[in-house]
Amino acid sequence: LYDIKGLTKEKQNNMDIKFENLHKEILTKCSKLYNDGFYAEAVEKSFKVVRDRLRDLTGYEKGSEAFGKGKLHIKGAAASNVDFDFNEAVKFLTMAIDFFRNEKSHTSDANIDDPVRAYEYLRLSSLALHLLENAEIKKEIR
C-alpha cells in the first residue's frame, strides 16, 4: 500500500487502490503527484501521457486523428468479426480522455478532490496505454 495523503491504509484497502496494477508510465509519472494529494495534477498528467503515446505512434495526439489520419489499429479483438468494434471502442476511449483533459485543463480547479475519483481517471489512462501496447499502423491497400 502507498502513503496517500488523507487515506488510511484500511480505507485504501477497502477502495482497492492498487498502483502496482497501473501501466508503468502512469505509475512512474503520476503516482507521486497522487500520493502527495495533487489529484487533479496527477489526472491531467495521465491524460498527457496517453496523448504523448498517440503522438509517438502516429504523429497525432488526438484519438480521432490517430485512428483516422494516423491509421492506428489495435490488435487484440476477441475475434476478427469484432475487430472494427474493438478498435472503435479504443478510439472512443482515447477520445474520452481527450475531452476529459480539455475539460480539466481549462479551469483552475479541475474538480478532482476525491482520491477514489482521481484513481479511476488514472485507471482509464492506464487501460488506454495497455491497449496501445498492441498498436500497429494500417498499411495502405493499393
65/48 Cα distance (integer angstroms): 16
One-letter amino acid of 12 = Q
**Other residues' Cβ atoms within 10 Å of the Cβ of residue 60:** 18
Distance CA 141, CA 120 (A): 39
In tens, the pLDDT along 19-46 reads 889 999 999 999 999 999 999 999 999 9
Higher pLDDT, 12 or 122: 122
Does the pLDDT of residue 97 top 90, yes or no?
yes
Percentage of residues in the chain having pLDDT higher than 90: 73
Q: Please, which pLDDT band fits residue 10 given cuts at 50, 70 and 90?
A: low
Q: Which range (2-11, 54-63, 67-76, 105-114) has the least confidence?
A: 2-11
pTM of the model: 0.86
Reported confidence tier of residue 134, pLDDT bands at 50, 70, 90: very high
Q: Would you say residue 107 has pLDDT above 80?
A: no
Pick from 64, 29, 21: which is nearest to 49 by CA?
A: 29
Q: Mean of the per-residue pLDDT values for the chain?
A: 90
Distance CA 4, CA 17 (A): 10
Query: pLDDT value at position 142?
Result: 60
- Residue 66 has which C-alpha cell? 490517430
pLDDT of residue 93: 99
C-alpha span between 5 and 17 (Å, rounded):
13
pLDDT at 104: 84
Task: Encode pLDDT of 11-21 as tens digits.
Answer: 555 566 888 89
